[in-house]
Structure 1
Amino acid sequence: MKKTWLLGFGFFSISIGWSLYNGFVPFFLDHYLTSTALIGFLMTIDNYIALFLQPYIGNRSDRTNTRFGRRMPYLLIGMPIAALFFTLIPFHTSLATLIILMVCMNLSMAIFRSPTIALMPDITPDTKRTKANGVINFMGGCGAILAFTLGSYLYSVEESLPFLVVSAVFLVALFVIFTNIKENRDAIPYSMTTSPKIDYKRELNSTTVFLLAAIFFWFIAIQGMEALFTLYGVNELGLSKSASAFSLAFFSLSFVLSSIPCGLLGAKFGKKKMILIGIIGLAFSFILLNWVESVFYLRAILLAGGMFWACININAYPFIVSTGSEQSFGTRTGLYYFASSLAAIISPPALGLLIDLFGFGILFYAAAVSMLLALACMLKVNNKETLSISPHKLNE
């Protein structure tokens, strides 16, 4: 668990970086653009890059073999470059330079994001991965909270200050991980694969396909809900902008506080059971939100919803890596981000279109339907296929 907490610094740095990027870069774009839709599109660059690059980087890290290990070279290259571009973003001189810096920052983040996450199953036995994922998500949540609290204060002092601090966090996190985690010493022994391409026939077994579909559908619900909730609160419930945003914080805070307990429960009762409980509970929460008339009940349901979301999200990543061999952790990490990134691209405009057609009242009904589709996919997951495949069997 000590190694997990240390590795959590990597997830902490990724989370604080993305949160600060998503929170403050739109202000820079707003200086040049009047179209909110165009600003929104430019802010999804990371999802498009993740869609195509994350599976490739993840698979390539599976096939990397250096004296530093499989994943560490990507951290050693990607994190300093990301720190550099985070430093440069607030010093842009035009829209063109800002977009170039944004693209370069996103590309550099893509270099080490999948390998950093894949380090967790590399150094953690299967029985402890849900606990470990709870820990790194807890640290990621703390990073997001710091980005919006301390980051907001620093931004009010000087616009470049939070970006400089995050750049320093990247370098400190890299130092902590590199000096404390030695892959050749700490990683669970594995058989090296030399296959130049992803063996989709082997990797995309029926369990993996249904699990990826479930991931896609529950992220459709979550991404759409988070992107459009503040507008829903203002237009449907009559809340002020600040009250609407503060209400959504109950969902996020509950998720952070539930991360470690949900990891422990997943290790004890099984990952699939916890995911199913989370899906059913979150679908029910979305349905209840349609009849809420008071802020108290709204926030109470969001508080419960955050716990159910933790049941899903904390157990999902360890579950998908358990559907393959130890040789494919990076590949499966990339596939996980492929499904979630595709949902992040599709969900806000798709649910936004439904709102244009039927009004804001459709938001949580649509989210509930998407969760029920995720439930249908999860019920198709065959537990017997989630056992790690023996490397000897793979070589037959």
Structure 2
Amino acid sequence: MKLNYKQTFLIGFGFFASSVAWSMYNVHVPTLLEKYLESTFLIGIIMTFDNIFGVIFQPLFGTLSDKTRTRFGRRMPYILIGLPICAVAFSLIPFTWSLATLMGVVIIFNFVMSTWRAPVVALMPDITPPPLRSKANGIINFMGGLGSLFSFAVGGILFKLGGVPLPFIASSVVMLLALLVLKLFVHEEKYKEAAGFEDNAEADQKAVDDGEKSKKTASLIFLLFAILFWFCGYNAVETFFSLYVINTLKDAAGNYLTEGDASLLLAFFSVTFLFFSIPAGFIGSKIGRKKTIMTGLAGVTVLFIVMVFTGNIWVLRVLLFLGGAFWACVNINSLPMVVELAKWKDIGKYTGYYYFFSFSAAIISPILFGWIRDLVQNYDVLFIYAPIAFALAFISMIFVRHGEAKKTAAN
């Protein structure tokens, strides 16, 4: 059994487009909001609006795509309609002239994003045999990391050249190019047939007794709470890192760093996530997904604690560079663990579970951290908050007993 690398890379262009948008959104929208609002708490609340849409609508559209039958497949219709609308709305964000117009465009963008993100993510487990899903998810996240790297590195350079509008416009163009690749080269029904899946392929699941189902349910619950905790840590850093940089860090001349500098710093994290995403999938397949995730959680916890004690930009670059590799170990192997517990016909539902908990974290965490930051009036607390969240995720993972790759395809 071998992974179809070409097919997986092509599917990854959907996640690439999504990552370009989200990474740029999380870097620049908080600073756009800061022009109208002084409270970090209120900024945190507004930054959760996109995740509220995700929690409500992503499971819904994931389930709807399970039931969709068209000549383009089950998932592609949502991508082909939603992605271009998102690209247009995204390009309009920096041209808003008030809080009301900014929020109006952001709400449209985030609603439409929630209609196609679950379908595009469900493509991978849909057509990939269970033993190969960690490797495949590594490739998918490699493409996502490539999108983030574009946003942070190229976006940072474009910001310095042309201000806020230029990165948004460039990202929208890249999203449309990714859509073109998907339209021309991804034919999901053909891939599914090549993988040997059938709609009623559940034989091994029927053999599982009630006791084993109960144990799997317990593992699923602990795994989902681990996902909640580690995304609480990650989303706080992703959302507030730009504000941490421009309010805390100074260059050699004593001037505070800019949004562009924050974007370039995050590029160090993204570049190792990018290049370690595929190896992380292979490691998960080799030593086990649980061990790989727990190693990643331990590593990123230690590195973020160290960040509390240094304001040196070069040290931060090294820590973020290493942190990207550890985060890859966590992120690459989590979705495959969740869908490993699902029947083929329930993959959309379990993908919905994954996004319900990960996006719930993205709702809770910015508000919670924003409230804490307003209390202490110090952005350094970001790197105390995040390690605590990662440590709670580590504890939850101790109790996960299922979700490893089967030796043979279950489906």
* TM-score, normalising length: structure 2: 0.81
| Structure 1 position 71 matched with structure 2 position 75 | yes
Deviates more, 1:152-161 or 1:230-239: 230-239
Amino acid at match of 1:261: P
Is 1:191 the counterpart of 2:209 in the alignment?
no
**Are residues 1:212 and 2:227 paired?**
no
Give the drift of 1:190. 3.3
Contact 1:118–1:329 under 8 Å retained in 2 = yes
Corresponding residue for 1:223? 235
List runs of 5+ in structure 2 lacking aligned partners.
Answer: 202-212
More off after superposition, 101-110 vs 60-69: 60-69
Out of 366, 376, 387, the residue aligned to residue 395 of structure 2 is 376
Q: CA deviation at 1:116?
A: 0.5
Check the 8 A contact 1:4/1:136 in 2, yes or no: yes
| Change over 3 Å in CA distance of 1:379–1:159 after alignment to 2 | closer
Match of 1:270 in 2: 288
Task: Normalising by structure 1, report the TM-score.
Answer: 0.83
382-391 vs 221-230, which moves further = 382-391
Indicate the residue corresponding to 1:198 in structure 2: none
Residue pair 1:290, 1:364 contacting (<8 A) in 2 also: yes
CA contact (8 A) 1:207 1:385 kept: no
Distance in 1, matches of 2:27 and 2:79, equals: 24
Which of 109, 113, 118 lines up with 2:117 in the alignment? 113
Structure 2 match to 1:314 = 332
Structure 1 residue 378, shift from structure 2 partner? 1.1
> In the alignment, which of 369, 386, 400 is matched to residue 367 of structure 1?
386
Distance 1:233 1:102 in 2: 24
Q: What are structure 1's unaligned runs of at least 5 residues?
A: 194-200, 392-396
Compared CA separation, residues 79 and 228, structure 1 to 2 (3 A) = closer
1:132 aligns with 2:136: yes
For the structure 1 residues 36 and 291, does the alpha-carbon distance in structure 2 shift closer, same or farther, using more than 3 Å as the test? closer
> 349, 357, 366: which one pairs with 1:348?
366
SS of the aligned residue for 1:242 comes to coil
- Does the Cα contact within 8 Å between 2:48 and 2:366 map onto a contact in 1? no
Matched residue SS, 2:257: helix
Match of 2:150 in 1: 146
Q: Report deviation, 1:123.
A: 2.1
Query: Would you say 1:85 and 2:100 are equivalent positions?
Result: no
Contact kept? 1:230, 1:241, Cα under 8 Å = no
How many residues align? The count is: 384
Please give the alpha-carbon distance, in whole angstroms, between the structure 2 residues aligned to 1:115 and 1:208: 21
Residue 352 of structure 1, CA deviation: 4.2
Task: Say which SS state the counterpart of residue 296 (structure 2) adopts.
Answer: helix
Do 2:280 and 2:328's aligned partners in 1 also have CA atoms closer than 8 Å? yes
Q: Identify if the C-alpha distance between structure 1 residues 357 and 53 changes in structure 2 by more than 3 Å, giving closer, same or farther.
A: same
Partners of 1:298 and 1:87 lie apart in 2 by 31
Q: Secondary structure of 1:335's match? A: helix
- Take 2:409 and 2:361, find their aligned partners in 1: how far apart are those partners? 29
Offset from partner CA, 1:184-229 (integer Å, 9 cap, x none) = 2112423269xxxxxxx99982222111100011112222234445
| Residue 161 of structure 1, CA deviation | 4.5
Q: Which deviates more from structure 2 when the two are superposed, residues 140-149 or residues 273-282?
A: 140-149
CA distance in 1, matches of 2:378, 2:299: 25
Give the Cα separation in 2 of the matches to 1:45 and 1:10: 22
* 1:279 match: secondary structure: helix
What is the distance in 1 between the residues matched to 2:21 and 2:342? Answer: 30
2:53 aligned with 1:49, yes or no?
yes
Whether the 8 Å contact between 2:290 and 2:404 is mirrored in structure 1 is: no
Residues 74 and 227 of structure 1: is their aligned pair in 2 closer, same or farther, counting only changes over 3 Å? closer
Q: Tell me the C-alpha RMSD between the 2 structures.
A: 3.4
- Measured in 2, the distance between the counterparts of 1:83 and 1:293 equals 36
Name the CA distance, whole Å, in 1 between partners of 2:215 and 2:55: 18
Question: Identity, % of aligned pairs?
Answer: 43
User: What residue in structure 2 maps to residue 254 of structure 1?
Assistant: 272
Q: What is the letter of the counterpart of residue 81 of structure 1?
A: I
Which residue does the alignment assign to 2:172? 167
Asked whether the 8 Å contact 2:135–2:285 carries over to 1, the reply is: yes
Amino acid at match of 1:173: A
- Give the letter aligned to residue 23 of structure 1: V
Shift of 1:354: 4.0
Judge conservation of contact 1:58–1:332 (CA < 8 Å) in 2: no
Residue aligned with 1:281, SS:
helix
